[in-house]
Structure 1
């Protein structure tokens, strides 16, 4: 049991539904349901009576409610008592972002966010998912934005925005003149890919397997540790690739690379936020995540 779960339980009761609580907490409804179920599992009893039209507190839930309210009030009093010591950090947001998000997605969104929220300053570290999780656990980051789902007993993960990987070829490549092409067409050519274990590589391989294709049968001529290096290799006509469409907008506009549509595959994925279960996100983080969700669209 943790404060985060009690806060969610209290909000569901106050709002009268899981969906309304999810909106208030800026979470998804399945995540709210999962946290309430975890609290019910901890006590070994149902806290809500559920029906198709509404929910209501069970006897156990009514017993828990005043304790949940007291915990929330105590947390607020604690924040007020400590505010004198943390005033200088007000509005300062520290986050970690994995490579594609930090290098290609967020930079275009930080400008509009700063105009709407000039009182919030952002410090962003671009690093891999393991490093982000480590710094969150050490309380060095408020939260992180990552490209693939992870599981950690001390962390909450929520979908934030979508992305789509696309087949990327040099402007003069034979496939650049054909729209759309099939996966079989693309697999006839050599590939330059992100390294094994990267979020981009994992999404691509999962889709191939879902289509009954063996990723190991691809003719991979080069594996590189950054999207920028992959793009440079494709520009040099060393091979073709499958990477985030949001990462090649500049090169496509300059006519250096071309996005080729696939007729029989779609490489869509979610980006996720992660933070500690035991820590309430500061208002600056909630504001930023709300902004991202409101502006989310496949890039």
Structure 2
């Protein structure tokens, strides 16, 4: 009946079947049938019809007041439902470093949104030690860091292990099919990640360990920029395995070259949150499932 009441009030307020028909996007015959349905249900005439002119009957006036009340109650109910849904909409704040943002976070957030499409996700970036502080201070619900920590009051869940890989453009002289050793990088044209991240720290450590002094052409804080510049500069780089999807390499005409020395740069990416943090049941379920999902995605 609500639909008929809305049609009725619209006809009264527009004082015209034609105007009400256009406003409601209904044909005039369909609109007239709804008015007739009300009249038959109540057993009274709501309008006096004088040609195209419509005038409310006495009971029609009473019906209009009743219809207005029902329309307002319906609108109030819809507003209440909207407020309820907004109040109960889950929100999660994630913290991640710039490098983690480029590698782990995209598939992680994708998995979260696929399972909980109505969830609102907020993001706060920073360096690893800053993300740990954000979690400790409850500025973020969950942090994703490229290291394993052991700290009272925080839970640390290993997600996957990562290590650096040598990446060169297809056709590069190192990509001739022969084995590549660390010494081959000495005085080699390279683009490497900017200082201040664990990736750069690993790179510097491995270069020092093997006495390598590369010809560093650029230092950039974006994996995407490095990947795009490699073919142009005909340079090599070291990037985390978790970033190097097969399609990414194919699209940029790049190849990875195995190096035993780089397997020693292994690092564990972890998810951290406060042991006393009140995570919703949805988030707890997602935390339990995300590790296997990431392992599957990052090995493609």
Question: Under a length normalisation based on structure 2, what TM-score does the superposition of the two structures give?
Answer: 0.59
Q: Would you say the 8 A contact 2:183–2:210 is kept in 1?
A: no
1:1-299 equivalences in 2 (<5 Å): 88=87, 90-118=89-117, 120-149=119-148, 155-207=154-206, 212-214=209-211, 217-237=213-233, 239-249=235-245, 250-266=247-263, 267-297=265-295, 299=299
Comparing 145-154 and 219-228, the one that deviates more: 145-154
Gap change, CA 1:202 and 1:283, over 3 Å in 2: farther
Aligned residues: 212
Q: Would you say the 8 A contact 2:163–2:241 is kept in 1?
A: yes
Secondary structure of 1:265 counterpart:
helix
Secondary structure of 2:266 counterpart:
strand
Greater relative contact order: 1 or 2 (C-alpha under 8 angstroms, separation 6 or more)? Answer: 1
Shift of 1:145: 0.1
Q: CA RMSD in A?
A: 3.2
Partner deviation per Cα, 1:71-122 (whole Å, 9 max, x = no partner): xxxxxxxxxxxxxx99825532211122233223332343344333345443
Comparing 190-199 and 148-157, the one that deviates more: 148-157
**Unmatched tracts of structure 1, length 5 or more:** 1-84
Shift of 1:243: 0.6
Q: Would you say the 8 A contact 1:99–1:126 is kept in 2?
A: yes
Q: Distance in 1 between matches of 2:185 and 2:138?
A: 45
**Unmatched tracts of structure 2, length 5 or more:** 1-83
Larger radius of gyration: 2
Shift of 1:136: 2.7
Secondary structure of 1:239 counterpart:
coil
Q: Distance in 1 between matches of 2:140 and 2:235?
A: 38
Shift of 1:229: 2.9
Question: Under a length normalisation based on structure 1, what TM-score does the superposition of the two structures give?
Answer: 0.59
